[in-house]
Amino acid sequence: MRVEVDGNVLYVFDSLFKTHRGARRELTWNEFCKAMTSLGCGYEPAASGGSARVFTTPAVFGHIAVHFHEPHGKQRKLDDSIQNQMAHALKYEYGWQDIVFVLKAPAERA
């Protein structure tokens, strides 16, 4: 399955899945949340409380929930280690791979 996304969303998943010659980019928690919710994922605090957050995919992806811990601090950066963990979880839980996300084609002008 291929999902067309805008450039900002593609930027996030390119970094998570290291699609450009293994390059990782500096990401923030907010960028990750925006990317996930733009795909229709639900987002809420986990019942366990604390920094745990739950993302649930829409029906097209099977209504699967995955938990992540929101980083602490002002900027809430996602370092390489955190991005590796997130990529692994997204591949394992959702079956997402780097080829799933492609840049949305620009709208044709009339």
Please, which residues bridge with residue 55 across strands? 43, 66
Classify 104 as helix, strand or coil.
coil
Pairing between β-strand 101-103 and β-strand 52-56 as defined by DSSP bridges: unpaired
**Would you place residue 97 in the very low, low, confident or very high pLDDT band (cuts 50, 70, 90)?**
confident
pLDDT tens by residue, 72-88: 887 789 999 999 999 99
More confident residue, 46 or 99: 46
- Write the DSSP symbol of residue 110: -
The pLDDT of residue 73 is 80
> Residue range 50-66: average pLDDT?
90
Residue 57: phi and psi, rounded to 5, are -75, 155
pLDDT tens by residue, 9-21: 999 999 998 877 5
pLDDT tens by residue, 3-57: 899 999 999 999 998 877 567 888 999 999 999 999 999 999 998 888 999 999 9
Between CA 95 and CA 101 the distance in angstroms is 12
Is residue 27 within 8 Å of 42, Cβ to Cβ? Answer: no
pTM over 0.95: no
Give the gyration radius of the chain's Cα atoms.
14
The pLDDT of residue 98 is 63
